Amino acid sequence: MSTDLDSLLALQADDVVIHGLQEQMAALEPRIRELDQRKQRTLDAIGRTSTAVAAEEKKQAWLRDKLAEHKLLIERNQTQMDSVTNMKMATAAVAQMEQARKIVSGEESDLLAINRRLEELRAVLNSQNNELAGVETEQEAARAEVASQRVSIDKEMEVAKAKRADAAKLVPADLRSKYDRIRGGKKRTEAVFAMSGMSCGNCDTAIPMQRRHVMNNTGAIDLCEACGVLMYFPG
């Protein structure tokens, strides 16, 4: 009965398809972005661990030098002790030796602690590097997949737009511009709604009987004054 309505609904169906394709396209971007962010977080973590490793290595080198120096000192003390001739000198040499040994033993346990920390930090660094490699592999795969999805969505979009252009030709110009205005103005996906009982199918506002009657009898497409969409009487 109402060919205008049929043409309009066909046009809207094409627009819904186009909208779906646009959403599919938009959904591809966040996936790449999420992987980029994860890679950056991993790189930051690697940077922090590397800095900590470098600092511990510096301490380790410094401590090794000190330790070598102090061990040499003990050796020298030992030689001196062999050549002392009186008790007083011997007591002094023993005290000095004890002191040096205490220092060396403290340094040795510090060095052990640093070695342990370095071992832990290097293990962390290793697992962070593994994670980075994993993210990069994932990224590469995702990029390739997104690129191929983009190509296929583009193809579907081309077909959908051509179909939409044909469908638009069948809708009378004034009705079409009304429809385009409603969709464009409020960025709606749909602009045409079937009435739901006595109410607008979109906002559920009750429509006066008089207008319902006209729509029912003539197949007219009417505007909902509450939400601004086009309404029609189903069936």
Instruction: Please report, as ranges, the residues that interact with Zn ion according to CB under 5 A.
Output: 200, 202-203, 224, 226-227
Rounded Cα gap, residues 145 and 16, in angstroms: 25
Q: Which residue, 100 or 192, has its beta carbon nearer to Zn ion?
A: 192
- The nearer residue to Zn ion, 124 or 226, going by C-beta atoms, is 226
* CA 119 – CA 175 distance, rounded (Å): 75
Q: Which two tokens stand for residue 144?
A: 């390739």
CB of 230 to Zn ion, least distance (A): 10
* Closest CB 138 distance from Zn ion, rounded Å: 46
Sheet-wide strand order for 222-223 = 192-194, 230-232, 222-223
**CA torsion, ordered 123, 124, 125, 131, to nearest 10 deg:** 110
Nearest approach, Cβ of residue 216 and Zn ion (Å): 17
Is the CB of 66 or the CB of 211 nearer to Zn ion? 211
How far apart are CB 43 and Zn ion at their closest, in Å? 52
| Residue 83 DSSP one-character state | T
| In the complex, minimum distance from the CB of residue 48 to Zn ion, in angstroms, rounded to a whole number | 56
Residues in contact with 142: Cβ distance below 8 Å, sequence separation at least 6, in sequence order = 31, 32, 35
What residues form DSSP beta bridges with 206? 199
Nearer to Zn ion, 200 or 221 (CB): 200
**CB nearer to Zn ion: pick between 167 and 229:** 229
- How far is Cα 203 from Cα 71, in angstroms, rounded to an integer? 88
Query: Which CB atom, from 12 or from 77, has the smaller least distance to Zn ion?
Result: 12
Alpha helices in the chain, H assignment, sequence order: 3-82, 87-169, 173-185, 209-218
CB of 202 to Zn ion, least distance (A): 5
Half-sphere exposure of 126 (CA within 13 A, CB side): 6
Beta bridge mates, 223: 230
